[in-house]
Amino acid sequence: MSSRMPTYFISHGGGPWPWIPQMRAGFAALEQALARMPEELPERPKAVLMVSGHWETEAVSVMHAARPPMVYDYHGFPPHTYEITYPAPGAPALAERAAALIEGTGLPVRLDETQGYDHGTFAPMEIMYPQADMPLFQVSIRKNYDPAQHVEIGRALAPMRDEGVLIVGSGLSYHNLRLFGPQAKAPSMAFDAWLSDALALPPAERLAALLGWESAPSARLCHPQEDHLVPLFTALGAAESEPASRPYHEDGIMGGVTASNFRFG
């Protein structure tokens, strides 16, 4: 690999949406943005490293299985969505490399032999790489949600961008399961606007703004629990000095939510 990969923070949509036609139609613009991602890269990645808001652990955990299983971490969807398979191969050697890099930060880290792909990973990957032929592994978020620690994890992983690994933070720029529909419009729009402005700042100011995200407009309405925001910090940390762009932005999904994806580098 001769080219540095960008990093991304993506909104991964709702549940197993690619397998439910009505939901998929509602995420048409997101689908287009995710489908474009492979075309936006300098070359085909060696693997995708996904940091999903759906895998939380005490120590940083790195998926190590050669053939990771599936995790159906959603409720109330049609029976066929509990039989989905996304049979992408794992990447054990790259997982070991990632764990070694994270270990260098002094944070606790472990290789996980049993964790499977959660829907924050397999739903967007179904659109990005529908042939499921791209090696894929996950790095967890820590249960403490500490922004600075997750930026540090991204910094540690940054060398992998020059080794052909695409780092993707998968969450949602708005995630309040009790406030969807029209009531989500004003808070999600306000927070998304702040987030877009903050990411356009010079690197040092950008980092300070993101570390202080709780002071943003409607921050705690949009993220009463910030599991779906935390992957952004790792994507940012892995491309800390590089410019941000917004390849996807949409108003009114899921009945009223404003959401965006961001690319760094």
β-strands 47-52, 136-138 pairing = parallel
Predicted local distance difference test score (pLDDT) of residue 263: 98
Evaluate whether residue 40 is within a structural domain. Answer: yes
Q: What is the mean pLDDT of residues 184-210?
A: 94
Percentage of residues in the chain with pLDDT exceeding 70?
99
Would 249 be classed as within a structural domain?
A: yes
pLDDT bucket at 1, cuts 50 / 70 / 90: very low
Strand segments, DSSP code E, in 32-157 are: 47-52, 56-57, 60-63, 109-112, 136-138, 141-142
Interior CA angle at 166 toward 160 and 169, to 5°?
105
Angle between helices 147-157 and 203-211 (to 10 degrees): 140
Q: Is 67 domain-assigned?
A: yes
Partners of residue 227 on adjacent β-strands = none
Domain span holding position 245: 7-264
**DSSP assignment letter at 18:** G
The model's pLDDT over 147-195, given as tens digits with 9 standing for 90+, comes to 999 999 999 999 999 999 999 999 999 887 777 888 888 889 999 999 9
How many independent structural domains does the chain possess? 1
Distance CA 107, CA 101 (A): 10
For residue 209, which phi and psi values (nearest 5 degrees)?
A: -65, -45
Confidence of residue 2 (pLDDT cuts 50, 70, 90): low
Q: What is the CATH number of the domain that holds 14?
A: 3.40.830.10
Give a yes or no: residue 1 inside a domain.
no
